[in-house]
Structure 1
């Protein structure tokens, strides 16, 4: 701890960051740069989040302590659950430590229990591996649907609830996060939360952390249970942590 609470908060947020490159034009060189960027002057990020095709490469390049997350059923959420489970198992074989899967959010309103079964199928395939269920909350029309998505994903065995893919017009929001965190708290508070998409500034990232601690209890929002999914926010967090000039970040991730 220092006498600068913003700097301390920025360092804590870096430790909770899933440094992400899910750009369509991502290359092997980009993955090498991401692995290097994950080892920051203010400490290592929680994980990198990348396309499945790059997992084996990242595992060969990254520090053994750096967790590698990848995505399945991404970004649309409509693949057959058995296929998604197979894709997740393949990613684990390549060296992934965490799986971020998109739920079939378009079927949520009219197909009771489908998301629970979908998440359960993938969880059975990955076992104790950390499974994050991406709800795509910006595309869910009502608070009731966000609550239902949260409850079905939890019932299916998700280890984390994640707001968004970052691939739609509407990303994470504090309103959606509140609903998700309340579902997590009601479930016992052991499941994690990840805010993802459109988070570019220290103040935005801190607002999600503070909300998580407010709903789930002081000190709850550490790397084991709280993540920020972004790439563009890292520069701002580093600037705040170091007390240097801050720039504007405009990238999606």
Structure 2
């Protein structure tokens, strides 16, 4: 993987992509279009990531056994909702057909020194979304900022039962960075490499994706990045992936996520 060419990186990135629409003005029509975009001539993305209110619609469109998984967000984007509200949100999303829950941890509480708030939130959502539902925890690393705090958030999330640790909501000034990725991937490695990693926000090109894949391959293993252990959260990356696979010049849409 470290020496793969652009087309190989693009094909791998496609299989790892959580194709995302978390825009404030998203419509049912946009969700239908997202479901259609998730299936390409080169294969499918790993998942679509959408607001909870659209999960039932997406499930009805994709059907029960579709290879594209449905991910949704809870406690998003603020991370400040009460545990019982987030649990209710999670239970409804799973009932509506979500395969994956992307949970924003109470990162402001963690910044203030309350580690228990993080553990309690993740444990409660894990109980509301047991396996085989995939639980991704969003650390909001651009707001945590401090290296030790990012590492601590990673360790807390893994210990509380997260299946993935994810960098960002894509809704703050600083989202995925290679520095945060390095800290998170090392936490995963030291916990046995069983938990997945998801950079989100700002990954827009195959060249961007390759940097994260190389880092994961170096810290863990060249074969470690696969849909069960690695995802990209992005809305704009698919366009560049398809341009590379088509042999066209990159044409990256201007996307915030």
| TM-score category, normalised to shorter length | over 0.9
Aligned equivalents of 2:122, 2:80: Cα separation in 1? 12
| 2:207 is the alignment partner of 1:203 | yes
Post-superposition offset of 1:141: 2.6
Deviation at 1:82, TM superposition (A): 2.1
Among residues 163, 180, 198, which one is paired with 1:194 in the alignment? 198
Residues 179-190 of structure 1 mapped to structure 2, 5 A cutoff:
179-190=183-194
Computed over aligned residues only, the root mean square deviation of the Cα atoms, in angstroms, reads: 1.3
- Where 2:87 maps in the other structure, the secondary structure is helix
The match for 1:213 is 217
**When the two structures are superposed, what TM-score results if normalisation uses the length of structure 1?**
0.96
- How far apart are residue 105 of structure 1 and its match? 0.5
How far, CA to CA, are the matches of 2:254 and 2:52 in structure 1? 25
Displacement, 1:248?
A: 3.4
Maintained 8 Å contact 2:239/2:252? no
More displaced stretch, 152-161 vs 110-119:
110-119
Q: The residue matched to 2:233 in structure 1 has which SS?
A: strand
Alpha-carbon distance between aligned partners in 2 of 1:12 and 1:153, rounded to the nearest angstrom:
26
Q: Does 1:104 align with 2:86?
A: no
Cα distance in structure 2, aligned partners of 1:76 and 1:164: 11
Question: Which of 150, 161, 185 is matched with 1:157 structurally?
Answer: 161
Q: What does the per-residue CA deviation read over 1:83-102, in whole Å, with 9 as the maximum and x for residues that have no partner?
A: 21121111000000000000
User: What does the per-residue CA deviation read over 1:134-174, in whole Å, with 9 as the maximum and x for residues that have no partner?
Assistant: 00000013101100110111111000000000000111000
Deviation digits for residues 88-143 of structure 1, max 9, x if unmatched?
11100000000000000011131132211211111011110100000000001310
Matched, 1:139 2:149: no
Q: Does structure 2 conserve the Cα–Cα contact (< 8 Å) formed by 1:18 and 1:230? A: yes
Q: Which 5+ residue runs of structure 1 have no aligned equivalent? A: none
Q: Offset at 1:49?
A: 0.2
Q: Give the gaps of 5 or more residues in structure 2.
A: none
State how far apart, in whole Å, the 1-side matches of 2:193 and 2:34 are.
31
Distance 2:159 2:247 in 1: 43
Does the 8 A contact of 1:55 with 1:70 survive in 2? yes
Q: Take 1:85 and 1:206, find their aligned partners in 2: how far apart are those partners?
A: 36
Aligned residues: 251
Distance, in Å, in 2 between the alignment partners of 1:166 and 1:248 is: 17
Aligned-partner SS, 1:108: helix
Tell whether the 8 Å contact from 2:70 to 2:98 is kept in structure 1 after alignment. Answer: yes
Q: Secondary structure at the match of 1:196?
A: coil
Offset at residue 246 of structure 1 (A): 1.3
How far apart are residue 212 of structure 1 and its match?
Answer: 1.0
